Amino acid sequence: MFSRMTRLSALALATTLVFASSLWAQPVSVRAQAKTLTITINGTLGPVLSGSDPLGANGQGGTLTVMAKESLSPKKHTSNSATYILPPGAMTVTVGSNQFQTKTNSTMIVQLTKSADILTLIASGSIDGINLKITGTAYLQAGSWKKTVLKHPTTFSPSPQNLTAATKSNGPGSKVKYTVFGSNTVLGLSGSASNSDAADAFLFGDTE
């Protein structure tokens, strides 16, 4: 009787080890379900809609890239908007030949309206030792996002899509506002917005 129980226990142990080893052998991309959303807004800044443009950004090329885990939950949300707080390094801003990557938390806001899906990105950093705050607003086609974006970051479609520059600082259309030396400048932004997501192996085992 004891010998039979021993054989059964050994068989069960062997089966468990074989099953476990097959799991361990799976590629990280299979085990890691997390994905990272990357959004890139690229275009030309201008015209100046308000302010004195002390950085001379008018006519310059500009790029704003944001990365967000698709498992992230919003800091706050309403029936048609969601505000996400992103960690340091999540946003990279380029204006002309100058670039900075965020070293503090940044903010991503998605607002779904009947006329447009509006993406607002807020970042702080420094260019050539000058501290500034940048708010980029992209007006995407209405219905670009599904309502699930109000629960977790996700992709929009179509991608890429064209961005039309605002003609008024407080009106509809894509634009960039920057604050430096205590003054605000708002410029139109014409260009494109694109996004993608992919399984992120670096997120495996992440406790966040």
Residue identified by tokens 């807004």 is 41
* Domain boundaries, given as residue ranges, for the chain: 1-31, 34-203
Token digits for 49?
Answer: 């809609």
Length of the chain equals 208
CATH number of 34-203: 2.40.160
Closest C-alpha to 133, from 171, 174, 95: 95
pTM reported for the whole predicted model: 0.81
Percentage, residues of the chain above pLDDT 90:
75
pLDDT tens for residues 120-169? 999 999 988 899 999 999 999 999 999 999 999 999 999 999 999 999 99
Take residue 198 and report the two structure tokens written for it.
Answer: 């992919």
- pLDDT for residue 81: 98
Task: Write out the two tokens for 44.
Answer: 């030309």
What was the pLDDT predicted at 200?
Answer: 65
